[in-house]
């Protein structure tokens, strides 16, 4: 298994564990009144499950199982991983933090939006990089 595929899969596992812990916090806040539940947790949890868990796992398996492209660019692939990882982490952290700040600061909304945009951009470029592997 290529090292980058392994990194994607390990990251998927860590993000999935973090998303389960977030879900447990949300459940305890809703059902037994232990903790604080705010609306931003729903978005943070959903994106961590889908992007952090599912998308990272799919990317890792795709890098592992699809044949290598004729022209490999490992630095670009590593940069895409880093961008997707950091933007997912910033988005999750920002959305979790938003509910605790009153009033919600505009700069944090812009940070979350920028992270979401970078998530989408890095994923689209990753998928375009996979296209030549589909022979």
Q: What is the mean pLDDT of the chain?
A: 93
Instruction: Over range 19-37, report the average pLDDT.
Output: 92
pLDDT for 101 beyond 80: yes
80 membership: H or E segment, kind and range? helix 74-98
In this structure, what DSSP letter does residue 100 have?
A: T
pLDDT in tens, 41-92: 999 999 999 999 999 999 999 999 988 877 888 899 999 999 999 999 999 9
CA atoms 46, 40, 16, 125: torsion sign: positive
Which pLDDT band, with edges at 50, 70 and 90, does 14 fall under? Answer: very high
In angstroms, the CA 46 to CA 123 distance is 17
Domain spans, the chain: 3-133
CB 105 within 8 A of CB 126: no
Secondary structure of residue 134 in the 3-state scheme = coil
In angstroms, the CA 65 to CA 56 distance is 14
């Amino acid at each position: 298994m290529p090292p980058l595929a392994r990194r994607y899969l390990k990251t998927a596992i860590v993000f999935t564990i973090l998303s389960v812990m977030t879900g447990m916090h949300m459940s305890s806040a809703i059902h037994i009144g232990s903790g604080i539940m705010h609306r931003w947790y729903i978005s943070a949890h959903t994106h961590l499950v889908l992007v952090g868990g599912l998308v990272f796992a799919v990317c890792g398996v795709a890098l592992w199982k699809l044949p290598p492209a004729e022209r490999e660019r490992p630095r670009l692939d590593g940069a895409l991983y880093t961008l997707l990882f950091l933007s997912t982490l910033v988005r999750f952290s920002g959305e979790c933090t938003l509910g605790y700040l009153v009033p919600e600061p505009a700069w944090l909304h812009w940070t979350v939006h920028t992270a979401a945009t970078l998530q989408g951009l890095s994923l689209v470029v990753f998928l375009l990089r996979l296209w030549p592997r589909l022979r």
